[in-house]
Structure 1
Amino acid sequence: MASLPHPIQYQGSKRNLASEILRFLPNKVERLVEPFAGTAAISIAASARHIYQIFWINDLNKPLVELLKLIVEKPNEIADSYTHIWYEQQSNVEHYYQVREKFNTTNDPSLFLYLLARCVKGAVRYNSVGLFNQSPDKRRKGTQPEKMRKNIEGVSRLLKGKCIFTSWDYRDVLAEVRKNDFIYIDPPYQGVCGNRNSRYYSGIKFNDFVLAIEELNRKQIAFAVSYDGKRGNKIFGNELPTALSLKKIEIEVGRSSQATLLGKEEVTVESLYLSPTMVNSYVENLESFSTHNLNSLVF
């Protein structure tokens, strides 16, 4: 897949995996729903491939959803705002902390874009009362305004006029989905998140999540779930129960940069679970994969 626009730096984004994930998704569905949209990487990639024409982008992190909505619907406004904030910083790192304090008071999404572009590793962190508390990356100033504008305009071209934006609890979203929807579910990564973790605005309970998946199965909704994973011999999180009758695919992400620095040859693998309805309805897509991909299927 050609390079896609990506204005928001966000640790945990599926941007680099989007092309691989899309290989397993159906292309005969009216609407793509992302209950845990994050940066909406899958929606952006799916629109670029003309797979879907309607997108429901949801995330409990309301400032993030409002930022995405601005990027899609008012690209010039958010690009101008980012440019103004970016040039204000000059070489003064205190500027970042001032913007962060203002964001925590106002939840202004235009301030959030600057913080995400400038913070360490694009990694969101929240304190115990839900305030953004990640530090600035002192080695760089964040995405150059010209590049940011180009990325914002690119996302807007792909998604404008095609999206519903909400910041609901994921269970409320799943309760509203229809049979002609496809649901891509990418909850907070199990390996680092329980019910509350500094890396995420909010966590989820494993048992609640399993019940929600059971209900989707009962309604015969087509969906895929990115959930657990591993790096080398280290496993992150529990697998989803076999009683859900999901097909598990292991996708190689690549060598771990952290492991490489330590002189280890560890490959990171993420799991993608396909719903029974999806496999039954789109089995021809699975059968068309290469032997290498089929060998990665876990039944």
Structure 2
Amino acid sequence: MQVRHTRPFLKWAGGKYRLLDKLTPHLKGRKLIEPFVGSGAVFLNLNFERYLLGDINPDLINLYQCLKKERGQFIRYACSFFIPENNSRKHYLEFRQEFNNGLKGRRRAALFVYLNRHGFNGLCRYNKSGGYNVPFGSYEKPYFPEKEMLHFIKQAKHATFVCGDFVSLMNRSRRGDVVYCDPPYVPLSPTASFTSYAAQGFSYDQQVELAYRAKHLAERGVKVIISNHDNAITRKIYEDAKIESFPVRRSISCDGNKRGTAKELLAVYE
């Protein structure tokens, strides 16, 4: 019988909701650390006593902190943006401009939810100046994820959310902890260039450093699991880990109608 999982309240490219059945057997312990928490699909479906959850995206962490602190009050506030008159390109661009003008705190967090659900394909993308630049999605009636946000609040009781890089988060691990890493993936093709990928803020050298730190944490009694594409690059990077490989269904071109299978791997350091 397949376990029914809870979806995150954010739409998120590369989320691990569909891989939970593969991941869950590896994630057992008292404390889970996620340096690339993203939409939170993993922590939302596990039962650890404590969680240390980080990401380099300050908007994501601000949102999670606001939701954890204000609970239902924040949900009602975020919901107030989901009205028919706000579901237009004009209003979307106005809110996006306000968001990019240095907005802070709970309003920025609420607008992040609005932009996530009204923007094109659930993308989260910024330009080189740090401006959020996802275009309007033109959805008939964007879904407000109240049920999913309530589940997040329940699960977040034992979670600490931190804005920071993977090195700072991994340095806070202790013997017996479990660290799950879902970094930006390497190019699908072994011959692909890292140029555009590195522009997103995670280079080949960082991939290598992540594997290096995972190996040394394992030597100190910390289990580390890393997700990535399965190709020649990752096989070399994770040569010191136990590898579990399996096919996943995903879009393999800019045309969303063209879907196929690609190989995914879990690198397990223990």
With the length of structure 2 as denominator, give the TM-score of the two structures.
0.84
The 8 Å contact of residues 254 and 268 in structure 1, kept in 2 or not, is answered as yes
2:155 aligned to which of 139, 153, 158: 158
Alignment partners' CA distance in 2, 1:164 and 1:140: 36
1:14-93 correspondence to structure 2 within 5 Å:
14-23=16-25, 25-27=26-28, 29-46=29-46, 50=47, 52-87=48-83, 89-93=85-89
Shift of 1:213: 2.6
CA displacement, residues 104-142 of structure 1 (integer Å, 9 cap, x when unaligned): 121511110110111111111211212110011113342
CA displacement, residues 217-250 of structure 1 (integer Å, 9 cap, x when unaligned): 2242210101224xxxxx6x82153674111212
Alignment partners' CA distance in 2, 1:224 and 1:273: 6
The 8 Å contact of residues 68 and 156 in structure 2, kept in 1 or not, is answered as yes
Q: Which moved more, 1:63-72 or 1:162-171?
A: 63-72
Alignment partners' CA distance in 1, 2:250 and 2:164: 35
Q: Partner letter of residue 214 of structure 2?
A: L
Alignment partners' CA distance in 1, 2:87 and 2:212: 52
2:240 aligned to which of 242, 245, 259: 245
The 8 Å contact of residues 250 and 272 in structure 1, kept in 2 or not, is answered as yes
The 8 Å contact of residues 226 and 267 in structure 2, kept in 1 or not, is answered as yes
Shift of 1:187: 0.7
Q: Partner letter of residue 53 of structure 1?
A: E
Shift of 1:92: 2.8
Q: Partner letter of residue 210 of structure 1?
A: V
Cα pair distance change 1:260/1:164, threshold 3 Å: closer
Alignment partners' CA distance in 1, 2:70 and 2:83: 21
Match of 2:190 in 1: none
Q: Partner letter of residue 139 of structure 1?
A: Y
The 8 Å contact of residues 118 and 139 in structure 2, kept in 1 or not, is answered as no
Q: Partner letter of residue 204 of structure 2?
A: F
Match of 2:179 in 1: 183
The 8 Å contact of residues 226 and 271 in structure 1, kept in 2 or not, is answered as yes
1:63 counterpart SS class = helix
Q: Partner letter of residue 104 of structure 1?
A: N
1:224 counterpart SS class = strand
The 8 Å contact of residues 89 and 96 in structure 1, kept in 2 or not, is answered as no
Alignment partners' CA distance in 1, 2:237 and 2:89: 50
Match of 2:264 in 1: 270
The 8 Å contact of residues 5 and 154 in structure 1, kept in 2 or not, is answered as no
Contiguous gaps of at least 5 residues in structure 2: 188-193
Shift of 1:90: 4.4
Match of 1:228 in 2: 229
CA RMSD of aligned residues (A): 2.4
With the length of structure 1 as denominator, give the TM-score of the two structures.
0.77
Cα pair distance change 1:205/1:261, threshold 3 Å: closer
Match of 2:199 in 1: 196
Alignment partners' CA distance in 2, 1:63 and 1:91: 22
Shift of 1:208: 3.4
Cα pair distance change 1:272/1:94, threshold 3 Å: same
Shift of 1:260: 8.7
Alignment partners' CA distance in 2, 1:100 and 1:225: 34
1:127 counterpart SS class = coil
Shift of 1:98: 1.0
Contiguous gaps of at least 5 residues in structure 1: 198-202, 230-234, 278-299
The 8 Å contact of residues 7 and 41 in structure 2, kept in 1 or not, is answered as no
The 8 Å contact of residues 185 and 223 in structure 1, kept in 2 or not, is answered as yes
